Amino acid sequence: MHIIPANGAHIPQLGFGTFRMPEDQVADILPKAIDTGFRHIDTAQIYGNEAAVGAAIKASGIAREAIFLTTKVWVENYRRDAFQASVEESLRKLQTDHVDLLLLHWPNEAVPLAEQIEALNRVREKGQARHIGVSNFTTALMAEAVALSPAPLATNQIEYHPYLDQTKVIAAARASGLSITAYYAMADGKVPNDAVLQEIGARHGRTAAQAALRWLIQQPDVAALTKTATATRLKENLDIFDFALSAEEMAAIHALARPDGRIVSPDGLAPQWDAAS
């Protein structure tokens, strides 16, 4: 597994995401993902599956130090009095004394960003998070967070797939030493049926999904989260490190971006997104 260095963090470039996975599904597939070779695991308080994630890691026989574990604080817990308690609850569910990466899940204007960043840093200082970062932050919010944080931020986890141009956010993150962690890599099921991606994948004896994942991780400082409930797809998702896309193929996939490509923009959470380049 390739590793991305990001402001002191060493992030495995391909992670297993658990968004919209109930606990019984996590209990079934995550042990198989770990056994297949996944060592970067992503969850969140709001997913409601931290306990199943923790149990799977505990039962895996893999040393905790060999797993890069991310969770995210939900927006309702950003106030100073709730933040620490929510993190400690996450750690109990995850059966660990620390996570490798703790993120603010979405922007929340109701709580000053300075208070949110202060709380993140306090958790890090206590050793309960080795690294800290943000998720779904725009370039402006990311710059503000970087300026406010005594400790460096490791990543901005954002929606990123072939249909969404994130050039501005990626460039801003890179300038501050942050990585990008891409979620929704399959664009909610659109990627596997895309003719351009199918053709590019076929040239390398791979699927459209593998072509899209390769496109993501071939970009500097970009990690990608995959998700599947099908055990046979686990190895397929991991099998993207022994081929490379040409410059022309990378450009062809970038060209799939479109103005309406964003999928995740929930009312009450989504900020004013950066315009596409």
Any domain includes 264: no
CA distance 218 to 207: 16
Any domain includes 203: no
Structural domain harbouring 89: 3-188+216-241
Any domain includes 272: no
Tell me what the mean pLDDT of segment 205-232 comes to: 96
Which pLDDT band holds residue 81 (cuts at 50, 70, 90)? Answer: confident
Tokens of 98: 């620390």
Please tell me the total count of domains within the chain: 1
Any domain includes 59: yes
Residue 183 has pLDDT above 90, yes or no: yes
Any domain includes 154: yes
Percentage of the chain modeled with pLDDT above 90: 97
Q: Which residues contact 6 (CB under 8 A, 6 or more apart)?
A: 154, 155, 177, 178, 179, 221
* Per-residue pLDDT at 111: 97
Q: Which residues contact 16 (CB under 8 A, 6 or more apart)?
A: 30, 33, 38, 40, 41, 42, 225, 226, 227
User: Catalytic annotation on 47?
Assistant: yes
* Per-residue pLDDT at 53: 98
Chain length of the chain = 277
* Per-residue pLDDT at 5: 95
Catalytic residue among 47, 78, 160, 183: 47
Nearest to 75 by CA among 24, 19, 33, 137: 137
Any domain includes 122: yes
Q: Which CATH number is 99's domain given?
A: 3.20.20.100
pTM here is: 0.97
Tell me what the mean pLDDT of segment 38-63 comes to: 98
> How many Cα atoms are found within 13 Å in the side-chain-facing hemisphere of 59?
14
Look up tokens 């932050």; give the residue.
Answer: 137
Any domain includes 152: yes
Any domain includes 277: no
* Per-residue pLDDT at 239: 96
